[in-house]
Amino acid sequence: MDTELFAKLRKQHPLVVNYANFVTPQFVANGLNALGASPIMTLAQEEASELMTPADALVLNLGTINASDMPMVLALAKAATKLAKPIVLDPVAVGATAFRAAAAKRLLADFPIAVIRGNAGEIAFLAGIAAQAKGIDAGESATSPATIAQRCAERYNCTVVVSGKIDVVAQGHNLATVYNETPLLPAVVGSGDLLSSIIGAYAGIAEEAFDAALLGVVTLGVAGEAAASQLEATQGGTFAAVLLDTLATLDVERLNTQARYEEARRA
Amino acid sequence: MDTELFAKLRKQHPLVVNYANFVTPQFVANGLNALGASPIMTLAQEEASELMTPADALVLNLGTINASDMPMVLALAKAATKLAKPIVLDPVAVGATAFRAAAAKRLLADFPIAVIRGNAGEIAFLAGIAAQAKGIDAGESATSPATIAQRCAERYNCTVVVSGKIDVVAQGHNLATVYNETPLLPAVVGSGDLLSSIIGAYAGIAEEAFDAALLGVVTLGVAGEAAASQLEATQGGTFAAVLLDTLATLDVERLNTQARYEEARRA
Amino acid sequence: MDTELFAKLRKQHPLVVNYANFVTPQFVANGLNALGASPIMTLAQEEASELMTPADALVLNLGTINASDMPMVLALAKAATKLAKPIVLDPVAVGATAFRAAAAKRLLADFPIAVIRGNAGEIAFLAGIAAQAKGIDAGESATSPATIAQRCAERYNCTVVVSGKIDVVAQGHNLATVYNETPLLPAVVGSGDLLSSIIGAYAGIAEEAFDAALLGVVTLGVAGEAAASQLEATQGGTFAAVLLDTLATLDVERLNTQARYEEARRA
């Protein structure tokens, strides 16, 4: 795990352009801000290129994707690709509707997506594995998260994060499993959206997308556990605020001592 | 009051499709999530039918209704009607503009709305009773909330909730008055939106819309009072988070012991 | 400083129509509500005139301005102008893209904007002074905030607020500098948006836009300091809620005793 990236984020404040869903944008922006990144959200196709020029990364969240936003999403992805800025894709509820599936698959076909992050159901769908999905965040599959992540990573030749009680990060022959977790993270609508954007912030300053994804997962997991340790397991409302407080005080030492993960890399 | 519905919600996690206003969607989603329901928000007309198929209910919130969203709103309502899923209508500030009035009246004319929930001013307007409205939530009338609710329920042949210091639920010859209240609920922008969506969650698993509406009002009233009991009467910011915490720990016993309401039903 | 305006706001609950960005609308609405104003947000061009008729002020926030919203923004500005209701402009990230610059400049050219509020980078850009901007809120310039504010005020013949560690309010020969501040305000995404809307609320009931702007800056500064005094300097998440609590309990005495500012007025 490359905790140097954390120090670099605190120093450089990477600018993350977000195509955000309209449900959780403030939570995502506050989370990025608390961590030390610089968020910006846009709805204007005309400014795609100018926003991506100083930006370090692009995060495309499909939570409330719709036809009239698509030209802007494509313009952002095109600008990011031209400028070689990494793109993170959060395919929210991708298996639930043909429209979402078509949007995600078009983005995956036409642009070099660096990281895909979703729950097991969403990633299984993209990987072509049968799965069940209900609502925004749920998603179960008979296949193991590691297998789902690896197949999706292979299919789209990128880094893939499967979020859940255990998080898995896969890319080529690299595989990491992160055990930091708290039931309070899924209690907050938008915690997955925030994770995708945190991965985007790291990806914007990392050499390897896999490092960005792994550190992103550990960052939210460690901060989440630290925030949860001050609360009852049912205080999801209060937790959202305390999580932001905790992201602001996170440091390399806490990341190193409290991260619980396994990592297997092969050349 | 049918508290079995509460236990059923906790077990079945009804999926509530929300056409949400853009001001309070995260609060509504977190509230539904804390209670045990499963929220999804959409802005894509193309996915209306696919989202409504697994869904248990549809909530249409007109808080920031606009012309370009109308085709999607109609597609959602059409799909819900075809699939016999209950529709809850929240006619935010309906009396303030002709556009909102036209949107609400079209929905009421073309689709079998199960529940309408609003403040006295909004419901009086729909019932054809003169009233005053200013801003989002205010709304007063010389007519009693019970009469307003009953007339509106009669006109549109549905269940109607009038929210205020006292809440009234009316449908046909049934009438309930709920006394649970706290000044902290109106201090949070979106508490009415959340109530409409909670009623939607119950309506999706109830036999009778009246039962869903009454239990919805009691649920937010009891949770609101419990949350407020930990705070000063001015802590509206903190209350929003504690309310979510409280919704997550609500149980049938608290609902039964702390509900304060009168109910009159006639065959 | 005209603290009578504060008492008047608490009594009259001015109605503020907001064209809000989609990132922070709930925080802005809750902040206005806590202070005692009455917020409404809209996305429908058709209702511009009807909403502005009972309204006291219009706030145009360009945080996520886009082409399809422009006709509505223009309709709101036109209605406000016709009805002589003050308009506050928040030119978020105006220097970052040609699209934002064109939108802001068109509004400034075509309508009598009462107050412009932004950070040093945004206001310097509008004033034609070279500056650096990155992300939403950052913005630095070699020129002093007072000079930036004065030049912008002169150019557009209005009141201008430059927000930062020190806030400056300029209009004609009037200049005020406000020293109340806390690092927790910039830690909350949307605190600038809230300030613009608070200024709008005061402007709707003030004789002079300068008085509204100065009191708005002092209001958020004093409330922010009071909220921060209960917290660690890193608790940005918790601060957002406590700030709302504090706005609700603010009174004239606290404003008078805790305001720290200098004011120079010339006839």
Distance CA C134, CA A15 (A): 8
Question: Is pLDDT of A142 > 80?
Answer: no
Taking residues B57-81, what's their average pLDDT? 98
Which ranges of C83-129 does DSSP label H, i.e. alpha helix? 98-110, 120-127
DSSP collapsed to 3 states, A138-194: CCECCCCHHHHHHHHHHHHCCEEEEECCCEEEEECCEEEEECCCCCHHHHCCCHHHH
Single-letter code of the amino acid located at C244: L
pLDDT (average), residues B69-90: 98
d(CA C210, CA C173): 11
SS3 C265: coil
A264 vs A112, higher pLDDT: A112
Query: Considering only A20-29, B133-142, B190-199, C164-173, which range has the smallest mean pLDDT?
Result: B133-142
CA distance C215 to C210: 9
Query: For the segment C61-102, what is each residue's pLDDT rounded down to a tens digit?
Result: 999 999 999 999 999 999 999 999 999 999 999 999 999 999
Backbone angles phi, psi at A17, to 5 degrees: -85, 125
Going from the C-alpha of C28 to that of each of C38, C194, C197, the distances in angstroms are 11, 5, 7
CA distances from C222 to B5, C31, C146 (A): 47, 14, 21
Kindly tell me if the per-residue pLDDT of B267 is higher than 80: no
What's residue A135's pLDDT?
47
The contacts of residue B264 (CB under 8 Å, 6+ apart) are B174, B175, B176
Average pLDDT over residues A110-138: 83
Q: Which domain, by its residues, includes C48?
A: 4-264
Q: What residues in chain A have their Cβ under 8 A from chain B's Cβ atoms?
A: 21-24, 26-27, 63-69, 93, 96-100, 134-136, 138, 187-190, 232, 234-238, 240-241
The reported pLDDT for the residue numbered A231 is 97
Q: How far apart are CA C192 and CA C122, in angstroms?
A: 12
DSSP string, chain B: --THHHHHHHHH--EEEEE--SSSHHHHHHHHHHHT-EEEE---GGGHHHHHTT-SEEEEE-TT--GGGHHHHHHHHHHHHHTT--EEEE-TTTTT-HHHHHHHHHHHHHS---EEEEEHHHHHHHHT---B--TTT--B-SS-HHHHHHHHHHHHTSEEEEESSSEEEEETTEEEEE----THHHHSTTHHHHHHHHHHHHHTT-S-HHHHHHHHHHHHHHHHHHHHTTS-TT-HHHHHHHHHHHHHH--HHHHHHH--EEEE---
Where residue B128 falls (left for φ over 0; alpha for ψ -120 to 50; beta otherwise) is: left
Per-residue model confidence as pLDDT tens digits over C245-259: 999 999 999 999 999
Considering only the beta carbons, identify the residue of C13, C47, C245 that sits closest to B97: C47
Which pLDDT value is given to residue A81? 98
Chain A residues close to C188, C-beta within 8 Å: 30
Q: What percent of chain A has pLDDT over 90?
A: 93
What distance in Å separates the CA atoms of residue A90 and residue A60, rounded to the nearest whole number? 6
A98 with B50: Cβ contact below 8 A: yes
Is the backbone of residue B138 left (phi > 0), alpha (psi -120 to 50) or beta? beta
Write down the pLDDT at residue B194.
Answer: 98
DSSP category for residue A73: H
Q: Name the amino acid, one letter, at A175.
A: L
**Average pLDDT of the residues in C153-168:** 98
Task: Flag if A189 and B248 touch (Cβ within 8 Å).
Answer: no
d(CA A191, CA A206) in angstroms, rounded, equals 22
B233 has a pLDDT exceeding 80: yes
Where residue A130 falls among pLDDT bands split at 50, 70, 90?
confident
State yes or no: pLDDT of C143 exceeds 90: no
Alpha-carbon span A118 to B120, nearest angstrom: 43
Residue B171's pLDDT is 98
Which band of pLDDT confidence, cut at 50, 70 and 90, is reported for residue C140? low
Instruction: Identify all chain B residues contacting A66, using CB atoms and an 8 Å cutoff.
Output: 42-45, 72
Going by pLDDT thresholds of 50, 70 and 90, the confidence category of residue C134 is very low
ipTM value of the model?
0.94
Q: What one-letter code names the amino acid at A242?
A: V
Confidence bin at A266 (pLDDT 50/70/90)? confident
**Residue B138: pLDDT over 70:** no
Task: Check CB contact under 8 Å for A242 and C237.
Answer: yes
Average pLDDT, chain C: 95
Indicate the residue of C41, C54, C245 with minimum beta-carbon distance to B237: C245
Task: Find the closest chain C residue to A244 by CA distance.
Answer: C237
**pLDDT (mean) for A187-197:** 98
Q: What is the CATH number of the domain that holds B159?
A: 3.40.1190.20
pLDDT of res. C130: 73
Which of C40, C46, C72 is opposite residue B93, by nearest beta carbon? C40
Count of B–C CB contacts within 8 Å?
A: 103
Whole-angstrom Cα distance, residue A102 to residue A105?
A: 5
Spatial separation of the C-alpha atoms in residues B135 and C204, rounded to whole Å:
14
Q: Count contacts between A and B (CB, < 8 Å).
A: 104
pLDDT in tens, A147-165: 999 999 999 999 999 999 9
Using pLDDT thresholds of 50, 70 and 90, give the confidence band for residue B240.
very high
Instruction: For C213-235, write each residue's pLDDT tens digit.
Output: 999 999 999 999 999 999 999 99
Give the pLDDT of residue B130.
Answer: 73
Q: Residue B236: CA atoms inside 13 Å, Cβ hemisphere, count?
A: 26
Task: Answer with the residue of higher pLDDT: B12 or B1.
Answer: B12
pLDDT class for B141, splitting at 50, 70, 90? low
**Subunits with 3+ C-beta pairs closer than 8 A to B:** A, C
C31-48 tens-digit pLDDT: 999 999 999 999 999 999
Helical H segments across A204-263, by residue range: 209-228, 236-249, 252-258
- Enumerate the residues of chain B whose CB falls inside 8 A of the CB of residue A188: 30
Q: How far is A28 from chain B (nearest CA, A)?
A: 11
Count Cβ atoms below 10 Å from residue C157 Cβ, excluding itself: 11
Distance CA B19, CA B121 (A): 22
Mean pLDDT of A76-96: 98
pLDDT digits over A52-68, tens only?
999 999 999 999 999 99
The separation between CA A155 and the C-alpha centre of its own chain, rounded to angstroms, equals: 19
Domain total of chain C? 1
Q: What is the average pLDDT score of chain B?
A: 95
Instruction: Look at residue C137 in the predicted model and tell me its pLDDT.
Output: 47
Q: What are phi and psi of C134, to 5 degrees?
A: -150, 130
Distance (Å, rounded) from C-alpha C97 to C-alpha A24?
24
Q: How confident is the model at residue A132 (pLDDT cuts 50, 70, 90)?
A: low
Rounded Cα gap, residues C65 and A24, in angstroms: 18
Nearest Cβ partner for B97 among C20, C51, C68: C51
> Which of B30, B45, B189, B193 is the mutation pick for testing A, counting most A CBs within 10 A?
B30
For residue A264, the one-letter residue type is: A
Residue A25 has which token pair? 């944008």
The closest alpha carbon to C38, from C159, C198, C154, belongs to: C198
